[in-house]
Amino acid sequence: MRSALETPVRVRFAPSPTGYPHLGNIRTALFNWLFARHHGGKFILRIEDTDSARKVEGTVEAIMESLQWLGLNWDEGPYFQSQRLAIYHEITRSLLEKRHVYLCYCSPQRLETMRQEQARRKQPPKYDRHCRDLTEEERSRLETTGVSSVVRFKMPLEGETTFCDLIHGSVTFRHDTLDDFILLKSDGYPTYHLANVIDDHLMAVSHVLRADEWLSSVPRHVLLYRALDWQPPQFAHLPIILGPDRTRLSKRHGATAITEYQRQGYLPDAMTNFLALLGWSLDDRTELLSRDELTKHFSLERVGKTAAVFNRDKLDWMNGVYLRQLSLDEFVQQAMPFLDRDLPESVKRPLDKSFVSGVLSLIQERARTLAEVPQLTSFFFADELQYDARLLLGGKLETKPAVQAITAASKRLAEVEAWDAAVLEAILRPLASELGLSTGKLFGLLRVAVTGCTAAPPLFQTMAVLGREKCLQRLNTAVEVLSAHSD
């Protein structure tokens, strides 16, 4: 095996466009990217699109957009395996000439009957090598009938293959547990096993970092490398990602396409930090790491063998931290598209950036995602609020004293000249004592009256941003709502 010290580091991310990239895919891409950047190597993007029947339209674009969003820039590619068929055919012919592989003419019906019989006997499903030792005469006869064929690899019938995985250590597979796997399908397209071995060799890939599920494929690949007289790369199989209940990660846990996290308002740096800690750690305590710090410290020695557990609450917390680290101008710039997208159509566009800046200065500490920003701020932009008297009273006040309190506050506020938070507080705080109310009751009443919410940013700063006209208008509306309620 080659080591990182003996050859330039070259890694690849090789997704199949059969579905939109999800957390596991992109975590694999990130680990490859970090490994390459840490060692000053190359990160290659290769699209393994040989399964045309399962290809999903738009997924290639989604893969590249996801990598670009996270800043995982590739140095070479994208290469497309569907454009490299001549290479796979040429190398397959050389394997046929050397008798490392053979043509298999078994029909789908025969293979299905074979599998059913194996299941009946409680045997593992495995090709029975029916075509492995056909004579030339038998092959010629089958060829003349026009029956289609696939190319299968001749696995050794006994012995074992041992290889070193950089995460799992020494791994051994017995040959009698493996069947003669297909390299080239009847439609002329290669299987994963053939195409990825050929491409990894021709692209001088030094390290293959991929998901744990491919670990059982390595003995096949090692034997294929030997048949081709090529040196295998080093292998590192990454732990799978489980849901909080320790079952396989699924949509109910949040395993949606990575583009959905972008749509939900997660920052790429927060997403990168979070994904890096799914299976890798710097130590037992450090949670927040910049991209530069991740690149500096990343090593396969710190990748765990056991499954990583996805925790949406941790992602939300981490994203909130990254949002708070933005300057106000950066936060406004990031949030504007979400406000444009999600605020009601009745809100006039374009949004006033100065007003938006004042609004967002009050909620930056509370937001966990950018998609939450419109929810947290919608009352700032609404022309009218919709609430009922029960929300205003909050179970703490009777209607008459509530009307008196809002009316008194409105009268005082109408006389204010300098409309800022400090002045508003200086006026309204003493009013609570004059009305015989606690500040909590009065301020809670006024908060609902001007925002329509029981939980909102600090009252006086909120009123300062809303402005005199809107605050007085909403206080008058609150009185009307309460008066109608008393009737």
**Scanning the structure block, which residue is given the tokens 């744990």?**
212
Separation of alpha carbons 423 and 270, rounded Å: 39
Summarize pLDDT for 319-328 with one digit per residue, the tens: 999 999 999 9
The two structure tokens encoding residue 477:
């509306």
Under the phi-then-psi rule, with left for phi > 0, alpha for psi from -120 to 50, and beta for the rest, what region is 58?
A: left
Separation of alpha carbons 132 and 265, rounded Å: 56
User: At 10, phi and psi to the nearest 5?
Assistant: -135, 120
Beta bridge partners of 434: none
Question: Do residues 146 and 105 touch, judged by C-beta distance below 8 A?
Answer: no
Question: Do residues 193 and 224 touch, judged by C-beta distance below 8 A?
Answer: yes
For residue 1, the model assigns a pLDDT of 37
For residue 255, the model assigns a pLDDT of 60
Separation of alpha carbons 480 and 486, rounded Å: 10
Q: What is the sign, positive or negative, of the torsion defined by CA atoms of 397, 400, 403, 404?
A: negative
Q: Which domains does the chain have, with CATH numbers?
A: 1-80+239-325 (3.40.50.620), 86-184 (3.90.800.10), 326-375 (1.10.8), 389-486 (1.10.10.350)
Active site residues: 251
Q: How many CB atoms lie within 10 A of CB 413?
A: 20
The two structure tokens encoding residue 208:
């293959």
Residues 6+ apart with CB under 8 A from 144: none
Beta bridge partners of 22: 257
DSSP annotation of 124 reads: P
Summarize pLDDT for 405-464 with one digit per residue, the tens: 999 999 999 999 899 999 999 999 999 999 999 999 999 999 999 999 988 899 999 999
User: At 161, phi and psi to the nearest 5?
Assistant: -120, 130
Q: How many CB atoms lie within 10 A of CB 1?
A: 11
Separation of alpha carbons 175 and 233, rounded Å: 21
Number of H helices, E strands in the chain: 20, 12
Residues of the chain predicted below pLDDT 50:
1-5, 487
Beta bridge partners of 210: 237
- Please state whether beta strands 207-211 and 42-47 pair in parallel, antiparallel, or not at all (unpaired): unpaired
Question: Do residues 27 and 275 touch, judged by C-beta distance below 8 A?
Answer: yes
User: At 384, phi and psi to the nearest 5?
Assistant: -135, 150
Kindly report the length of the chain. Answer: 487
Peptide bond into 78 cis (omega under 30): yes
Whole-prediction pTM: 0.91
Stated as kind and residue range, the H or E segment containing 43 is strand 42-47
Q: What residue type is 327 in one-letter code?
A: S
For residue 2, the model assigns a pLDDT of 38
